[in-house]
Amino acid sequence: MTLNATFIGQFIAFAILIWFSYRFVWPPLVLAIEERQKKIADGLAAADRARKELADADARVADEIRKARVEASAIADRAQKQAVEIIEKAKQDAIAEAARQRAAAEAEIENLSFKAREILRQQVAELAVKGAEKILAREIDAARHRDLLDALAKEI
């Protein structure tokens, strides 16, 4: 076990290897590792952000749904109320129309019965006159006693 020039050779070789490692080997490896670490950190941060955004969106959606539900029920309420109103109004209209038509019909009936009475009266008057004519024969001149006969017919 003697020390010899191997020592010097190994000394130089070691120095060169250290320098090479320091200059060319270590920096790119560490750079790649650090870059990936940064990438992973960014990715995790992005995932966190996305999760938070998703939660926000969920909350917003729930909020919107709740609002929509409230609004829908308000609309339904309003619609129901309106429907009731429309039905009520239609009912009123129908009642009014019915009343009006009845009134018109009643007026018509009145009118017709009046006319019928008039015609009847006239016919009775004529019948009376004809009867009287037959009874009186020539004593009564139809033309001369027209106003008298008319007055009689009216009285009937």
Partner 1 sequence: MSAASLFLPLVGGDSPSEYVSHHLKHFAQPIGQGGFWTVHVDSLLVSVVIGILGIGLFWWMGRKATAGVPGKFQAFIELAVEFIDGQVRDVFHGDRRFVAPLALTIFVWIFLMNALKLLPVDLGPGVAKGAFGLEYFRLVPTTDLNITLAMSTTVLLLMFAFAIKAKGGFGFVAELFTAPFHAHNPLVKVVLAPANFGLNVIEYLSKPVSLAMRLFGNMYAGELVFLLIALLYMAGGQFLFGDGATLGSQAGGLLAFLGGVLAGAGWSIFHILVISLQAFIFMILTVVYLSMATEAH
Contact between 43 and partner 1 (CB under 8 A)? Answer: no
Q: Tell me: does residue 39 bind partner 1 (CB under 8 A).
A: yes
Q: According to the binding rule CB under 8 A, does residue 114 interact with partner 1?
A: no
Rounded distance between C-alpha atoms, residue 24 and residue 3, angstroms: 32
Q: Could you tell me if residue 137 is left (phi over 0), alpha (psi between -120 and 50 degrees) or otherwise beta?
A: left
Distance CA 51, CA 65 (A): 21
Site stretch for partner 1 (CB under 8 A), options 34-42, 54-62, 106-114, 120-128: 34-42
Minimal distance, residue 42 CB to partner 1, in Å: 11
What is the C-alpha separation between 56 and 66, in angstroms, rounded?
15
Tokens (6 digits) for 116 = 């019928």
Interface with partner 1 includes 41 (CB under 8 A)? no
> Per the structure block, which two tokens stand in for 42?
């960014």
- Enumerate residues 73-102 that contact partner 1 by CB under 8 A: none
Residues that bind partner 1 (CB under 8 A): 1-11, 13-15, 17-18, 20-22, 24-33, 35-36, 38-39
